[in-house]
């Protein structure tokens, strides 16, 4: 969770690194070239600004950015609440990505389009979620897990496995 300005900068740097495997200097045209990364930057800004909305000026800045955040969420099809995702989040494509506000997502998670993450889901670090995956129930997914495309995950998954299918089953004991 972002607690101060240094955390905010670290999250931006790690999100950029997870997308490009290098840190890029953010330019104005990147907003149009990488709209999913622009969304993540606004998401992180909102998480940072939520700490300072107690003053009048802080509230005004927060709500101005809140409406911008909602607009880009609708345009890109993302529904990711604040303070759910840890650093290193990578949204590969824009499209329908829905995350419940009670879910938690660990570091360096890669999420493709048409993913739905339900209530009380706890996702570990380094998880790859393929396109169309549905994850729901009171479950825990371990670290370094690969979830195949169109999988339906409704039970706990241990670390360092590859899963796929409906319902999802372990198909490999190591990640790819």
CATH number, residue 152: 2.160.10.10
Q: In tens digits, what is the pLDDT along the chain, a chain of 176 residues?
A: 888 899 999 999 999 998 888 878 888 888 899 999 999 999 999 999 988 777 888 888 889 999 999 999 999 999 999 999 999 999 998 889 999 999 999 999 999 999 999 999 999 999 999 999 999 999 999 999 999 999 999 999 999 999 999 999 999 987 65
Q: Which domain holds residue 45?
A: 5-77
Question: At 148, phi and psi to the nearest 5?
Answer: -65, 165
Is 47 a domain residue?
Answer: yes
* Closest alpha carbon to 153 in 125, 175, 130, 174: 130
The answer on 72 and 139 residing in a single domain is no
Number of domains making up the chain: 2
d(C-alpha 79, C-alpha 107), whole Å: 19
CA quadruple 59, 35, 153, 159: dihedral, nearest 10: -90
């Amino acid at each position: 969770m972002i607690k101060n300005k240094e955390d905010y900068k670290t999250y931006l740097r790690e999100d950029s690194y997870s997308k490009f495997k290098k840190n890029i200097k953010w330019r104005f045209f990147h907003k149009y070239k990488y709209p999913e990364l622009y969304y993540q930057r606004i998401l992180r800004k909102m998480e940072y600004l939520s700490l300072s909305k107690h003053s009048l000026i802080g509230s005004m800045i927060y709500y101005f950015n809140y409406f911008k955040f909602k607009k880009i969420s609708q345009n890109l099809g993302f529904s990711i609440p604040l303070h759910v995702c840890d650093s290193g989040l990578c949204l590969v494509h824009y499209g329908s990505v829905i995350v419940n506000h009670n879910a938690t997502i660990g570091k360096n998670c890669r999420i493709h389009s048409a993913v739905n993450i339900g209530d009380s889901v706890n996702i570990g670090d380094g998880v790859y979620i393929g396109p169309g995956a549905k994850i729901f129930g009171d479950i825990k997914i371990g670290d370094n897990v690969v979830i195949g495309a169109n999988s339906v995950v409704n039970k706990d998954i241990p670390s360092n496995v590859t899963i796929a299918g409906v319902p999802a089953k372990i198909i490999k004991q190591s990640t790819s």
